[in-house]
Amino acid sequence: MTVSSDLRTMKEPGTGTDSSKVPAGLDAKVEARLRGMSLEDKVGQVFMFGFPGKDPENARPLIEDLRAGGIIYFARNTGPVGEVAALSATLQEIALRSGPGIPLFISADQEGGIVCRLTEGFPVMPGHMALAAAGGPGLVEKVAEAIGTGLRAAGINMNLAPVLDVNDNPDNPVIGIRSFGSSPERVAELGAAYARGLRESGVIPVGKHFPGHGNTSVDSHLNLPVLPHSWDRLERVELFPFRRVISGGLECIMSAHVLFEALDPDRPATLSPKVLVGLLREKIGFSGLIMTDCLEMDAISEYYSGTVRGAVEAFKAGADVLLISHTFEMQKEAYMALCSAVRSGEVPQSRLDESVSRILKLKYLFSIPNPLEPEAFPLNNWDEYRNLSAQAHRDSITVVKDERGVVPLKPGARILLVTPDGAQRLQMEDPARPGTTAGTPLGNALRSKGFVVRERTYSTCEIPGAVDEHYMIVVTEGATRNPAQAAFVGRVRGLSLQSPAPGTVSGSRGQAISVILVAAREPYDISLFPEVGTYICTYGSRPESMEALSQILAGKCVARGKLPVELE
């Protein structure tokens, strides 16, 4: 009997992992299953692999030959929900008919906002910081449950979220608006709500990035971040959300490729037994799955023996699931390297059994593969979630300053809209799809509200020059970290400082043109233009955020968002 057929008799999908619903005799079932698995079967279970494209044949060698226990999707693998569901079903069928016959974890980064893999046919929800601006744990839980429903409809049973990093560093290039904010207590409260929502939908939540990536100024995709914080600081800030969410029940945690000098001065968290076992397992008491961030990231591949050896070292350090997202050669070599390490005794067989037991147990508890069948929730019936997405985006818009009472704008007003020449994307984001930059969606949304909009990019904006509008809206996307954007904002600031009316620039006929600065990423961009009279934060540049902003500017609704971070 396969694991999956056992699973379907154990638990109703969507009921999470409440201990009262854990089936009797689960440990015995897992032990019996382990006894029937070869070493190669067991090693395969601890790997989660990515593959190119949408053809399931590209993933077949990973599942049949390397006996993968998990697959991760990126935008390259996804499309409309029904299409992804068909891909997921095929991959699960391959898994059930090959190797040990154990169904797959199928995961994705569906945080909301700028980090979403599933965007076609299902409404994209706001990201973490936008949700923190929009409301409390009730809203966050509801949004996370909606996200989980969409994932399960696509055959995805694990979400690599919530982000539990405390973003209190304005220079952070990789977390930023992916965090719930700068308050450890608030991050803990909303992170726990997000995990509950996913669990209620039947999707496994994964808290990340332990012990905390929020105060770094280096992206671990590109380099090795090093944090010199004291143990006291780590306890008060970085570790606080993880402790709180773990205490409420959390099934899986992803490690950070960050070196914490106070915890282990020699190895980043992903490769450190002191962090994964000494701190996370023994001191904090976490008993769930520990997953690595992708081992192809430069913080591991360029600094510590490379991806292949890094996989073995991460497993020895205490990781249960090893994530390698892109390169087949590295995936195969890492699988073979771990097999060899177990055969040689470098990795004890008992250590391997320990991780595989955790993996099997979680697959039992969530009835993996656990897809949401189309007849249970028609794939085109997303109106409730579209409305939820629209309302949450509207509630997130934060008018930080409006000293001259500019908002809402005058009906039918002329607007000069200036946007960056190219969207700034994090390494975590997929390549831009049509309609994901800030300018055109906002311009079109404003036109639909009756405004006359002239659009320019920073490099084509003719200021000072023939400007004859009532308002000038300058959109930034992480300008504090982008010299070109900072230079343009500085230019506008210089014109404003010369203008007789604060927060304005002079038009072609000497009239005062009100300047509105819109931070479409992190809220910190006001530091470049502290005198601006009107400052608005959207926490994202997707069309959903721009439509919400246009409704605020047009007076269709009132801005309710509150800043989730502190601004100097």
Pick from 501, 504, 513, 422: which is nearest to 460 by CA? 422
Between 375 and 397, name the one with better pLDDT: 397
Cβ-in-10-Å burial (0-12, 13-18, 19+) of 484 comes to: middle
pLDDT over 80 at 432, yes or no: no
Report the pLDDT value the prediction gives residue 299, as an integer from 0 to 100. 80
pLDDT, residue 374, reads: 67
User: Distance of alpha carbon 249 from its chain centroid, rounded?
Assistant: 20
Segment 304-331, tens digit of pLDDT: 679 999 999 999 999 999 999 999 999 9
Query: Average model confidence (pLDDT) for the chain?
Result: 90
Q: At what angle do helices 383-396 and 137-153 cross, to 10 degrees?
A: 140
Q: Which entry of 165, 168, 264, 293 is annotated as an active-site residue?
A: 293
Are 485 and 474 in contact by the 8 Å Cβ rule? The answer is no
pLDDT value of residue 214:
81
Judge whether 128 counts as a catalytic residue: no
Residues 434, 553: Cα–Cα separation, whole Å: 24
CA distance 180 to 157: 23
Select the more confidently predicted residue: 143 or 225: 143
Single out the catalytic residue among 6, 65, 221, 430.
Answer: 221
Task: Report in angstroms the alpha-carbon separations of 132 from 127, 251, 463.
Answer: 9, 23, 36
Calpha distance 111→47 (Å, rounded): 22
* CB distance 105 to 354 below 8 Å: no
Please compute, for residue 494, the number of CA atoms within 13 A of its CA located in the half-sphere on the CB side: 8
Question: What is the model's pTM?
Answer: 0.93
Residue 466: the pLDDT is: 62
Q: Give the percent of the chain with pLDDT over 70.
A: 90
What percent of the chain clears pLDDT 90, i.e. is strictly above it?
A: 77
The separation between CA 240 and the C-alpha centre of its own chain, rounded to angstroms, equals 19
Q: pLDDT digits over 161-201, tens only?
A: 999 999 988 888 789 999 999 999 999 999 999 999 999 99
Maximum average pLDDT range among 7-16, 259-268, 352-361 = 352-361
* Active site (annotated) includes residue 293: yes
pLDDT higher than 70, residue 3: no
Read off the pLDDT band of 372 (50, 70, 90).
confident
Task: Give the other-Cβ count within 10 Å of 482's Cβ.
Answer: 18
How far is it, in rounded angstroms, from Cα 410 to Cα 306? 58
Residue 450 has pLDDT above 70, yes or no: yes
Q: Which range (153-162, 265-274, 493-502) has the least confidence?
A: 493-502
* 291: pLDDT strictly greater than 70: yes
Domains of the chain: 3-365 (3.20.20.300), 397-553 (3.40.50.1700)
| φ, ψ dihedrals at 504, nearest 5° | -130, 165
Check pLDDT > 90 for residue 221.
no
User: How confident is the model at residue 526, as a pLDDT?
Assistant: 96
Residue 24 is predicted with a pLDDT of: 79
Is residue 220 pLDDT above 60, yes or no? no
Cα separation, 48 vs 58, in Å, equals 15
Arithmetic mean of pLDDT, 190-217: 93
pLDDT at 225: 76
For residue 243, pLDDT over 90 is answered with yes
Count of all residues that appear for the chain in the document: 568
Q: Which residue has the higher pLDDT, 84 or 382?
A: 84
Q: For position 232, what pLDDT does the model report?
A: 94
